[in-house]
Amino acid sequence: MMRQYELVERVRRYNPNANEDLLNRAYVFAMKAHGSQKRASGDPYFSHPLEVAAILTELKVDDPTIVAAMLHDTIEDTAITREDVDKAFGEEIGGLVDGLTKLGKLDFVTKHAQQAENFRKLLLAIADDARVLLVKLADRLHNMRTLKYMPEDKRARIAQDTLDIYAPLAGRMGMQSMRSELEDLSFRCLMPDAYALIVSRLQTLKTKNGAIIARIAAELTDQFARRGIKVEVKGREKQPYSIWKKMERRSIAFEQLSDIYGFRILVDTVADCYAAVGVAHTTWPSVPGRFKDYISTPKQNDYRSIHTTVIGPGSQRVELQIRTHEMHEVAEYGIAAHAIYKDGRTGADLPGVSETRAYRGLRQTIEALAGDDSERFLEHTKLELFHDQVFCFTPKGRLIALPRGATAIDFAYAVHTDIGNSAVGCKINGRIAPLISVLQNGDEVLISRSERSAPPAAWDGVVVTGRARAAIRRATREAAKSQFGGLGRQIVERAFERAGKKFSEAKLKAALPRLARASVDDVFIGVGRGEIYSTDVVRAVHPDFKEERKAGPAVPENESGWFGLPKAVDLVFRVPGKSDPASVLPVRGIDLDTTVRFAPKGGAVPGERIVGIRGPEGITIYPIHSPALIEYNDQLELWLDVRWDLENAPKAVYSTQLVVTMLNEPGALGVIATTIGEYGANIDAVSSSANGADFRELRIDVQVRDIQHLNAILSELRGKSVVHRVERLSG
């Protein structure tokens, strides 16, 4: 274990003015607080915060951050309180330690809700002070380095969390060195065979190509020196996880990768960067499409460099990353490399220094998502962190950085929330395009607006940025309260009634932390949407409640009571019926001698556009929107242009399938069946399965006359209070 004087010496190497007394007091304080506690490895527990502090000395952080690293587990794992830390070290360090402390032992209904709320607390603390992130990443890195000592059942969960959250966070902050190590440690735990194989291949390749790599490095150095450019050439080897991810994404073999080895060309000035590009491109042929200038347009994590690929010595493809020494430090250490985070000062304390783009972007993301409940906050933040970027422009030339895969809707919200909420159309590079269009690097986007007060809720499933998702959810929340809140309240009140408990909003409000919801309305909305079980709400208010479902007496099929479905029963019944023979199908455009049939699921009905697909057993008719047609996209020779012939055809009915999500209460199925019957449609078959405690999903084969008949039934069903959702199944 590192000694007290060794830690102080590490800090003094980069900060001769370090507060030795503060560091010594923190060392003794933390060692006494953890006392005889042991880690899973058997080492004294205090060795862990000490190693975290040592990792941070490599990032050259300020004294309060080192102290916070030594104290980061004291509030959570010892008898020390926030007040004790404040009294001994001041509120600044106390705030850092508190930001790193998980929530107290709150009685959450689910483990996932507790984890999500802890993550939310951490990110909100990071938004207040970036040093919290530095300590947390160092903490996670040491935990991953010692992961082998953890119980086997916990390793995979910790490694997956690291890959999902902490490695992307490090990348978002530009800390590429730490991100790479976190990814590789996680990869080794989650996929040990794949990791071992790639490491073995890398070692073989290094042995085989070692001489070539040395030759390329020497020739690069010589060529730049001849032109009077002082350079430092560093070899770069792609990391195992990065290699595996690229192989998976592109479905290629290890041997097909051309950028496993590359070189970093470090120069003194930005002008030298562009001069070095000129030397490289006039000495060796450049590979088209492999030039990227991240100096003129930096990445959102502040990464700046020029990337280019040339056909270098020995006809080898050589990837070059050209940057200044300062850019290289930022690329490796991210926000920790900026003066803004040294000596505990913020941008406001340093004249002429503003917060970095990386930290500002993360803080804005966190603030935009802060209104979401904990689990959505976790989902959207993970999504935001994972994506690469595209750079687009407003008509006035403003640069907008977005995740790869972002749409024009994401662009509108990135410009301003009001523009996103009122967007109705767009022009991309001067041409009218749908708002759901995926944007490419360099696109110029003009958003058309209207006075509409709220965006369509369906946009929530289209956008990819957390900011846009949060804004759409906020804009539609009032509508959700009206649509789902009332329904959820009814379900909750009935659940309390079935449990023999009296419903009280005051008691429910007191139980909100256990449901990880911010308000009673959020609970009602969650129940109405099917995101929370009503029985979980009862348990949150009455922890001693145990659900007991008693099987009711058998009831004949033709009595209305039969439609009250118990939770555990999967119901299937079938009504005798007949199908139209192929010989009388009212379809034009097909040889009469050909065997014709409708698609077995989600069959077409008169009045909608149809298409025929030729197969070995004849022709199958699909509605034009059927997902089944996707597999024939590359076989256009099988497609037939067919249409309905209803003028000369006998009257008939056609089968299609509905998927209905209904409330799980007595009489609900009866309402649905009666509604369908009142519209003159036959039910050919019904299957039912549980969809949570409060809902059941029905699949109904119904016979209708045409598309107008079907749409009328769908419209009527959607208006029934027992129906949560109804859609036509397209097979």
Structural domain includes residue 710: yes
Looking at 43, 77, 355, 521, which residue is catalytic?
77
Q: Is 344 a residue whose pLDDT tops 50? A: no
Active site residue 77: yes
Any idea what the Cα angle at residue 426 is, between residues 421 and 427, rounded to 5°? 155
Integer angstrom CA distances of residue 49 from 26, 33, 54, 64: 11, 12, 9, 14
- Transcribe 268-297 into DSSP letters: SSHHHHHHHHHHHHHHSPBPTT--EETTTS
Integer angstrom CA distances of residue 180 from 139, 174, 524: 15, 11, 43
- The domain that contains 437 carries what CATH number? 3.10.20.30
Same domain, 14 and 140: yes
Structural domain includes residue 551: no
Q: Residue 243 carries which side chain, given as an amino acid letter?
A: I
Structural domain includes residue 345: no
d(CA 578, CA 652): 11
- The domain that contains 255 carries what CATH number? 3.30.460.10
Same domain, 154 and 96: yes
Same domain, 70 and 185: yes
In the block, tokens 């274990």 appear at 1
pLDDT band with cut points at 50, 70 and 90 for residue 731: low
In tens, the pLDDT along 413-447 reads 988 888 988 888 899 988 888 888 899 877 889 99
Integer angstrom CA distances of residue 275 from 75, 229, 280, 287: 54, 8, 9, 18
Tokens representing 474 are: 């906020």
Same domain, 115 and 232: no
In tens, the pLDDT along 478-493 reads 666 666 777 788 888 8
In tens, the pLDDT along 542-579 reads 888 776 544 433 333 333 333 333 333 344 443 433 33
Residue 541's nearest CA partner among 514, 578, 568 is 514
Average pLDDT, the chain: 78
- If one compares 2 and 29, the residue with the highest pLDDT of the two is 29
Residue ending a domain, among 448, 473, 498, is: 473
pLDDT band with cut points at 50, 70 and 90 for residue 523: confident
Structural domain includes residue 379: yes
Same domain, 463 and 608: no
In the block, tokens 């409060």 appear at 694
Active site residue 76: yes
Percentage of residues of the chain with pLDDT beyond 70: 77
Same domain, 418 and 469: yes
Residue ending a domain, among 336, 366, 392, is: 336
d(CA 414, CA 407): 11
Count how many Cα atoms sit within 13 Å of the Cα of residue 404 in the half-sphere of its side chain: 5
pLDDT band with cut points at 50, 70 and 90 for residue 505: confident
Structural domain includes residue 569: yes
- The domain that contains 100 carries what CATH number? 1.10.3210.10
Collapsing DSSP to helix, strand or coil, 600 comes out as coil
In the block, tokens 């009206």 appear at 482
Q: Is 221 a residue whose pLDDT tops 60? A: yes
The sign of the CA dihedral 15, 19, 20, 25 is negative
- The domain that contains 667 carries what CATH number? 3.30.70.260
Same domain, 56 and 176: yes
Residue ending a domain, among 190, 223, 248, is: 190
- If one compares 18 and 352, the residue with the highest pLDDT of the two is 18
Q: Is 502 a residue whose pLDDT tops 80? A: yes
d(CA 238, CA 261): 6
Same domain, 460 and 485: no
Structural domain includes residue 146: yes
**Count of domains forming the chain:** 6
Same domain, 319 and 406: no
Residue 169's nearest CA partner among 193, 206, 141, 198 is 141
pTM over 0.85: no
Same domain, 222 and 319: yes
Q: Is 374 a residue whose pLDDT tops 80? A: no
Structural domain includes residue 554: no
Domain that holds residue 94: 4-190
In tens, the pLDDT along 601-639 reads 656 888 777 778 888 878 888 887 777 777 776 776 777
Same domain, 273 and 413: no
* Residue 6 CB-density burial (10 A; 0-12 exposed, 13-18 middle, 19+ buried): exposed
d(CA 389, CA 173): 14
Looking at 76, 84, 86, 444, which residue is catalytic?
76
Find the farthest-apart pair of alpha carbons in the chain and give their distance in angstroms, rounded.
98
Any idea what the Cα angle at residue 496 is, between residues 495 and 501, rounded to 5°? 155
Same domain, 31 and 167: yes
Structural domain includes residue 523: yes
Q: Is 339 a residue whose pLDDT tops 50? A: no
CB atoms < 10 A from the CB of 392, how many? 24
